């Protein structure tokens, strides 16, 4: 059931790591800067791999819950993981009325699914099952790891740019009797690299969201339930923006931060209308297949 896009995703993550190395070299005009960029890429990738579940849960103050606390939710997830042939993930509740959900973890054996208080109040049982099946597909495809690494690398690009630009302005004079590094390198790190990193994150996330929507339809057999859930989340999410670290935005099922104009160009999620349209097409295909098999 779980497929696709791993080569493309790995290439995009490699491109983001390359931005760190190349930007570090251009900013300092030396191999030492490239080494700094390489170290940043390695450390942040390993850190996000090992601590991805804890970091995302902490970013949204998600609280772990047990079956005794939320028996209906727990049993729903347990039923869906059997259908998806996955281990039971940890469950957590995010204390906010903004309706949203996410999955995190470095692999299916160390995964967690978190839902907000708001999403449990506004979605019916079938809609919530569609959302959770979407998150389980992310776990099965290991998108949770990919998104965490992408978000961490994107943040590292920005941080390294600020750090090296500060050092270039106020640091020691180099061998060419000039203070700082290559002005073009600083421009790449401070302005262009973060923009490029955002575009890479967007490309990764959009690809994985469509795949997870399809996976949800396969697990539940009800693509229209997820389509209905996405429409509700989009409508209410605009009225109640979610507070949190934008670096973890890609792990959420729908873009939780308000904003239009130029900011909308860097949304990490596909347009909800397009996702709904594709789910409706899946429902039509299922109806046709069922009709054909019964005649």
Q: Is 151 helix (H, G, I), strand (E, B) or coil?
A: helix
Selecting among 135, 209, 234, 249, the annotated active-site residue is 135
- Please give the distance of CA 233 from its chain centroid, rounded to a whole number: 17
* Residue count of the chain: 295
HSE, CB side, 13 Å, CA atoms: give it for residue 187. 3
* Residues 145 and 107 sit within 8 Å (Cβ to Cβ): yes
Tokens 């998600």, residue located: 62
Rounded Cα–Cα distance for residues 101 and 131 (Å): 8
Q: Which residues pair with 112 in a beta bridge?
A: 90, 104
Token code pair at residue 200: 């890479």
Rounded Cα–Cα distance for residues 177 and 14 (Å): 34
Q: In what order do the strands lie in the sheet with 111-116?
A: 63-65, 90-94, 111-116, 101-105
Closest by CA position to 55, among listed 122, 150, 128: 150
CB-based burial of residue 139 (10 Å sphere; 0-12 exposed, 13-18 middle, 19+ buried)?
Answer: buried
CB-based burial of residue 128 (10 Å sphere; 0-12 exposed, 13-18 middle, 19+ buried)?
Answer: buried
Token code pair at residue 223: 């693509």
Does the annotation mark 281 as catalytic? no
- Which residues are known catalytic residues? 135
């Amino acid at each position: 059931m779980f497929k696709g896009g791993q080569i493309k995703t790995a290439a995009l993550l490699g491109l983001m790591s390359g931005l760190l190395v190349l930007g570090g070299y251009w900013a300092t005009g030396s191999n030492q800067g490239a080494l700094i960029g390489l170290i940043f890429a390695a450390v942040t990738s390993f850190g996000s791999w090992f601590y991805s579940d804890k970091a995302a849960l902490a970013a949204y103050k998600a609280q772990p819950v047990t079956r005794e606390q939320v028996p209906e939710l727990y049993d729903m997830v347990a039923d869906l993981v059997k259908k998806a042939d996955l281990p039971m993930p940890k469950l957590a509740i995010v204390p906010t009325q903004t309706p949203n959900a996410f999955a995190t973890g470095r692999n299916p054996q160390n995964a967690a699914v978190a839902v907000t208080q708001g999403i449990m109040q506004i979605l019916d049982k079938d809609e919530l099952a569609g959302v959770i099946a979407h998150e389980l597909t992310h776990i099965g495809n290991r998108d949770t790891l990919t998104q965490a690494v992408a978000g961490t690398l994107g943040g590292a690009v920005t941080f390294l740019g600020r750090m090296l630009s500060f050092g270039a302005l106020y640091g020691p004079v180099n061998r060419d009797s000039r203070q700082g590094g290559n002005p073009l390198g600083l421009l790449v790190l401070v302005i262009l690299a973060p923009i490029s990193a955002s575009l890479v994150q967007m490309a990764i996330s959009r690809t994985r969201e469509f795949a997870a929507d399809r996976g949800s339809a396969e697990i539940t057999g009800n693509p229209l339930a997820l389509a209905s859930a996405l429409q509700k989340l989009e409508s209410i999410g605009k009225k109640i923006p979610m507070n949190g670290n934008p670096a973890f935005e890609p792990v959420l099922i729908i873009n939780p931060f308000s904003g239009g104009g130029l900011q909308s160009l860097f949304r990490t999620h596909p347009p909800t209308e397009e996702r709904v349209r594709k789910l409706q097409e899946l429902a039509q295909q299922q109806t046709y297949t069922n009709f054909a098999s019964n005649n």
